Structure 1
Amino acid sequence: MRNLLAIALLLLASESMAQDVTLKVGVYDNPPKIMFDEYGQLSGIHGQILMTIAQRHNWQLVPVECDWDQCLKLLREGRIDIFPDVVKNDERETWASFHNEPALLSWSQLYAPKEEKITNLLDLNNKRVAVLRDSVQEEYLKQLIENFDLNSELYPVQSLAEGFDAVVAGKVNATSADQLFGDKQVAEYDIEMTPIMFLPNEVFFAVPKGFHSDILTTLDRELKRLKADENSVYYEIIERWSSGQSRLTIPVYVWWLIAVLALLFSTVVGFNLLLRRKVAEKTKALAESKYRLNTILDSVEAYIFIKDKELKYQYANQQVLKLFKLNLDSVIGRTDYDLFDKSTADTLKAFDNKVIKSGKRAAQGEVNTLPGEKKPLHFWSVKVPLYDTNRNVIGLCGISTDISEYQSMKEEIQSLAYFDPLTGLANRRFMLERLKDEFYRYLNGGDDGVLAMLDIDQFKKVNDSVSHDAGDELLVLFGQRLESELLQTEIAGRLGADEFMVLLKSKSGTNLLEDKNLRQRLQVLVERLSEPYQLGEKTESVSVSMGVTLFSDAQNTGDLLQGADLALSQAKETKASKLQFFNTGIQREFNYRQQMIAGLRQAITTESLEVYLQPQYQQLTDEASLCCLGFEALLRWHDEELGWVSPAEFIPLAESQGLMPDLHRLVLNQVLAAIPQLPHDLSDKGARVAINVSASQFKYPGFVEDIEARLTAAGISGELLELEVTESLLIDDIENTAANMERLKRLGVTFALDDFGTGYASLGYLKRLPLNSLKIDQSFVRDMKNGNSDEAIVRTVIALGKSLDLAIIAEGVETEEHLHKLQEMGCFCFQGYYFARPEPSDFWISDERV
């Protein structure tokens, strides 16, 4: 036991420690990637990403201000725990540890005043360049200067800002900085970004070697999670800090390739210029350099080529040769008309001539097709003019990157964003945007339009009674049938579940209000969509409702959608036409419904609904005295604005709004309070009161327990409570219904089947359920005449009840003729206006009243 306690305490301590981690963060001034804000708080892209992760894992971040090389020293000595914006290399991995998922992608750029005229690497000869001390940029530029035999000097600085200050002060000719920092300084200093870019790198968070492995694991997991969600805070942070810079229209990885290729191209130009000046003494070196260059260009995952002024190929690397499936000799001297289809060749010719005539670099996306190939290839191409020693254009060099995969991903993402993956139809987002555009055109003088909302009635039953796969198949077939019935100028989409939208246009100059064919066409569409569907081996019949509104009936798209929804609701409720056009009557009905919903909620809250009681009597003969069997509770509502509202109106409304449990509790509370005071002829315990229970109430979780608790609290026997259920309750989930009824019966509660004969209950259900009585619906009693069908139904119900040993109560007894007729048939229990109208419970407290 002592050991178990120790283990538990250890686990609790470990958990507490895991939640209380303090990390010293090295911060050097490199906006917008890492810096302090005006309040001295950690900021920038890295800062906010790290704070986001730290907040999620309860890390306490303590910023430590330091210069770049000072931060590296503190990290190596273990005096800080984590340092952002570090490029991983072999040397640094000997004294620092890194996570695997890059925190950010970046590259370096040279910046210089315009008068320095630095356009390629050779222009750095006899120049001083500021570079961050002990950085990978310093190491790289040292190697570059050495390889090109340049007489250049590097000027180490403590911060990137110091480098720009050195340029302004005239201490250096140019400075090196990462692109994010440098681009923000261009606006502040009279300095330009040169074409020289290098070192596209992944940057990480670094920790002291051998420490904080759990922190690195957490960083990897969180970075992967944030990057996987295109709407995550990760991309919001990058977007926010990059908002002042020009937007890229192609993916980042393509820029990397372009940066690498630009560097390679600069290397080509550099080699050529340098070797031309030294051709006399370095012929052998030229041949070796040419070989190395070809090796490099052939190994690059890009299509590099050179054309002369007649646009004939003079050079092509291995990627180009693989594309054409030709050797170099077969490509040299040929034009694009020999290698691509005519349309592609025409486009390439126009682009190439633009570069040669203007003498300026150009870049654009290209869609190229090879002869005999159906699938086009997508490229991002950069083309630069080539000059001779007299600065005359002699051709061009092209560097093309295959972005077909990116284009395919872009199209797939767009498809996911705007189309429903199940049916292939447009989705909600697309349809709402299209509706907004079409309505805008209409407001600006365009033709009228039609918005139709469609819904598959009782679709849930297909899912529940067959399967969800069958439901999906039905939606697919429905979408296909819907789309096949529309014209090319019309569009259909799925908004969600079984709800669809259709946008139709009027013919030019046609007034839809006077278009007699519109209703007929939409009616035919509803009928066509309502035809049976073959779901596997089973044929499923459905009905479809449609609500329609015209652009001319609305002031904005919100009105359009609301009008179509209201018309659709009206169509679903009516048993006649399943096609409804929006009109002012529907709007008035909607407003009345909304007013009634608000009033009903208020009435439930203030308990201003009142239970009325109507007595039930027994009279065996004309001479026998009336005997009160009990009462039926009937809910009544009077609203100050709406007046008396019929239960036939507010009960279905309460069902649709999920208010029936509240109404049930209100009725039960008033009935249980009234029972002890009511007169009782047949029981010493008190008067029995029947209350109506809907199917939704009966299935509500805790329904049985709630009744039992309230009976106990009121001190009333279950024998004094009767629940009247309808036939719709019996045919839905019979097993659960029977179980709940048996539980209530053990409490003494009795059951009556209300409005018998109006539903679909089978004799099998009646035998299985613990019913005590049947109530003949008042519609049959009211219309009884000698020999008519209603009289036959009443006789049948009475005979059926006797055969099942159930009591029979006739509702709607309004005349003496009704009473005598029922007695002749063998029914002796009655309820109706002939005996008494429903009245408040106080009315029946006196025996004389009954």
Structure 2
Amino acid sequence: MGWCVKRSIKNRNYLKVWAFLITTVLTSIASAGDALRVGIHDKPPLTQIAANGQITGFIVDVLNLIAAEEGWEIEYVPCNWDQCNQMLTLGEIEMLSPISSNEAKQRRLDYNRESLYVNWGQIVMAGKDAIKSPLDLAGKTVVALSSDPHFADLKELAERFDIRVRFLEVSDYESVLAWVDHGPVDAGLIPRSFDLGGFQQYPLIKSSVIFNPAEIRIALSPLNGQIPNAKRIQRLDYHLTRMKGDRDSAFYQLQEKWFGNTAVVEIPEWLLWVMLFLLLLMAMLAAGVLLLRRQVRLKTGEIHEMNGRFTSFMQNLPGIAYMKSATGQYLFVNPVWETTNHLPESQVIGRQSAEIWPERDLESREQDERKVLVEGKPVETTEVHPWGKRPSYWRMIRFPIIGLPGEETLVGGIGLDVTDQKETARELTHLHHQQQLLLESVGDGICGINGMGRCTFVNPAALEILGYSREELIGHKFHDLIQHTRHDNQPNPEKESALYAAYRNGQRGDEIGLFWHADGEALTVELSVYPIANGELPGAVLIFRKQRIVA
């Protein structure tokens, strides 16, 4: 989410206040999962799927190390490349690896920043030194895996330099080796990470032709949500950076285990000359930059630092954010603010709200901003936004941004859309009202019993039949008040009643039972009990009607 702040903010303390308040809002949003489903496609030795479905490889071992330290439970899901991408898009898996940073960027996926491995495409052949540069591929046939990301780059390279190459596509890397070894094709394309030592039946060698360096990353599903993805990316990068910074860490031990010393690449002579030229060019550019840097270092550093921090915050902020001067002119709005208000930043910066929306009543919002400046404290409100297709509710926090002595105090604001929460609460209230009307309108007595046998709700018909008030029933054991004695005046064991079987054992029942009226009269009733779930213990709903009065 790239953008540039058009007005210079003099004090870096503004940004520190932004970081604190935005972090406070973001941490109130819960995002957790019981297990992480990670899609794995066959790319040995980075990842490999055995015939029995067992998943192993360098990336799997690294993820297991990180999961053990983070307390994550990982479920690896084997799939081919197209299936993995579809499952990631639909949210059926939370993460996918291996994937290059370029592929993740083209698919607009979230991905971690610290690479697990640097891979590139490499040409293999049967005859030594038969192919020394990409130009030697002219007139030859090259076989490649159709889903190999380096394949598209090789075809683009050949087209760009008008190298006429015949390409053949297969479904797995062993087929690539077999076609090259048996002679129908001249060369094959494999990734740098591919271990020829595991296929000694094909005596092939790697040529000096390499291209398309790609950093291997871990991609995350966009359906996870921005906040969970940002947290997982931060933890992945933290552990990778820590392990890669220690040459004795398990990371390098796993590299030795899976790659060993067999992946030695012969660097072609032409590439050495290109690298030397680039080094000389970089040295000349560095000297020029050093000469100019003394004149512009401070101001350029401040601008880059502010842009970097703002960009980092705004990419992960799910709500609107803005900043105003003490006189009410907008100094900054984030992309979510632009989308919500249907206005680009260029039409907002430097203008007051009354200039932008002269037809709207904004007095209450401006009054809150003045209160922030006068009292120097945050003001939190819930506001209705009535100007869209449908009214929306926003939880707004406006706060002062205090500069150095002599500098004006600015007003900052952040807001989260709470429309869904408001509508859910309204629907629940309406549903509760309907249920209450239903309970009060029926002629049968209805009581709710929790898992401890205590009455939790009762309708008017039940109160009339039993002769108790609502306060005398709610919270008390129903059996002790209503079913305590049999016809022969002997105690009625609670565990023998249909009501007990319902609220403790989850058994539905119907029976003719004996209830006792509040004034001591015995009532014969027809009753039905229905078990209901109620947290750890079940409960029950009791429905009954008076059959006859027993003298």
State the TM-score, normalized to the length of structure 1.
0.27
- The structure with higher relative contact order (CA 8 Å, sep 6+) is 2
Higher helix share: 1
State the TM-score, normalized to the length of structure 2.
0.41
Larger of the two Rg values belongs to structure: 1
